[in-house]
């Protein structure tokens, strides 16, 4: 099993910055993907950014140039630096980890942390 502990959500003004962090523990494969998804009420969960264990990052188009994802393989943690936040990005942000094994993958989710962008 894998446990994901998130921190860093909260209230920020439009145009402001916030940093989310997520630490993973448990059985983690040598190859994995970690990242963040977000979900607004009555909407589907959507990818924000992910990064692989070898450092390949992937971003949602709308956050490119504003958000930066990074990882620490030793600590099995991932950070999401969010700059120039917009009110429409008020959502619950979920940490995600996918263990990549030879023949299969397993997905794990954190409990979510609320990001509120409001003046």
How many Cα atoms sit within 13 Å of 33 on the Cβ side? 16
Closest by CA position to 8, among listed 77, 102, 93: 93
Residue 53: count of CB within 10 angstroms of its CB = 17
Using CB atoms within 10 Å of the CB of residue 118, give its burial: 0 to 12 exposed, 13 to 18 middle, 19+ buried: exposed
pLDDT at 81: 98
Residue 97 scores a pLDDT above 90? yes
Mean pLDDT over 102-112 rounds to 93
Is the confidence at residue 20, as pLDDT, over 90?
yes
Q: Residue 85 and residue 53: Cα distance in Å, rounded?
A: 27
Share of the chain above pLDDT 90, in %: 87
Average pLDDT over residues 64-76: 92
- In the chain, % helix, strand, coil (3-state, to 5) comes to 5, 55, 40
Question: pLDDT-derived band of residue 1, with 50, 70 and 90 as boundaries?
Answer: confident
| pLDDT, averaged across the chain | 95
pLDDT at 35 > cutoff 90: yes
């Amino acid at each position: 099993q894998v446990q994901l502990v998130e921190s860093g959500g909260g209230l920020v003004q439009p145009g402001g910055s916030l940093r989310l962090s997520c630490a993973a523990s448990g059985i983690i494969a040598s190859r994995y993907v970690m990242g963040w998804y977000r979900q607004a009420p009555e909407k589907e969960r959507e990818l924000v950014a992910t990064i692989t264990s070898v450092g390949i990052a992937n971003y949602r188009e709308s956050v490119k140039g504003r958000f930066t994802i990074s990882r620490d393989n030793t600590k099995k943690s991932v950070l999401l630096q969010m700059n120039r936040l917009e009110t429409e990005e008020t959502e619950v942000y979920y940490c995600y980890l996918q263990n990549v094994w030879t023949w299969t993958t397993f997905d794990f989710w954190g409990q979510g942390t609320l990001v509120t962008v409001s003046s």
